[in-house]
Amino acid sequence: MSGFIALDWGTSSLRVARIAADGRVLAEHQSAHGILNVPAGGFPQVFADAVTPLAPQAGTLCLASGMVGSRQGWLEAPYCPCPAGFDALAARIAWITDAPGDLRVGIVPGLSTVVRGVPDVMRGEEVQVFGALQLLGLQDGTFVLPGTHSKWVTVQAGRITGFSSFMTGEVYAVLRRHSILGRTMPDEDPPADDEALLRGVLNAMQAASLLHSAFSARTLALFSQLAPEQGPSYLSGLVIGEELRAQRLENSGVQPVLVGGQALTRRYELALGAIGVRSRAVHEQATWRGLHGLAQALEH
């Protein structure tokens, strides 16, 4: 294959890269044109503005993953059901029929699964997982993508066999900003406090539910056992600890691979370490590597 253009197009940001045939990132930039910041009917123009600096020739392959394939995005790319490998994902790419500049623009579908009758979905994380598999030379593993809606993903023989979502980041944000818990915290976020984080992790792990453990962010503050500037890290520890509690990882032998930005994966590494679970991390390059793999699959 020749090179291609990769787009990581999420809810709040758009990252674009020119990727060489061998996977090297030749150029990269980003903007705040996440899908929530695209005006009605504005996707072709935002796309054109984003790729023009990379000077693509007509016919160049452009692959976009993330919420751009949702109902609120450019073109809805129906979810691909699990179990799903790279081939299934490549086969279900949704193609834009009238893309600007005669480019070949494909939208990667998200994945869906059903557990006990309840559906679960992801968009964009599937590409990161496949990228992480390639970066680490793995065919199996448990992958964790922390964030607004964290994903825990199981991979067997190179295929994603299942996953579950946790509203960890969003629940943190609404409790921090809209609940009574924020009242004993400073408005501005203070520097991260690892000790407070780990205290939150351990308190959540020993509780039966976050509905109960979250109240400790208030009572510890009431009894002056938690300083106001420790509040945000403590609460972050509570929600991460709750997410980990639900996994029952202790003595499982599972060594998760964390995929995401440095600041967030570091928190999870600390939290996992505190409960005796080893992990390793892969960062933003996972998306480009995953899209590169898909581009290769399309050319074969």
Binding site residues, a copy of itself, CB under 8 A: 71, 116, 118-121, 149, 164-168, 170-171, 174-175, 177-180, 203, 206-212, 214-216, 219-220, 222-223, 225, 239, 242-243, 245-248
Nearer to a copy of itself, 216 or 265 (CB): 216
CB of 179 to a copy of itself, least distance (A): 5
Nearer to a copy of itself, 121 or 298 (CB): 121
CB of 13 to a copy of itself, least distance (A): 17
Tokens of 117: 């009758």
C-alpha to C-alpha distance for 258 and 42, rounded to whole angstroms: 34
CB of 223 to a copy of itself, least distance (A): 5
CB of 279 to a copy of itself, least distance (A): 19
Nearer to a copy of itself, 58 or 208 (CB): 208
Nearer to a copy of itself, 116 or 300 (CB): 116
CB of 69 to a copy of itself, least distance (A): 13
Nearer to a copy of itself, 126 or 242 (CB): 242
Nearer to a copy of itself, 212 or 280 (CB): 212
CB of 5 to a copy of itself, least distance (A): 29
Task: Report CA-CA distances (Å) from 81 to 78, 165, 208.
Answer: 9, 15, 32
CB of 225 to a copy of itself, least distance (A): 7
Nearer to a copy of itself, 60 or 203 (CB): 203
In 3D space, the residue among 102, 77, 104 whose CA is nearest the CA of residue 91 turns out to be: 77
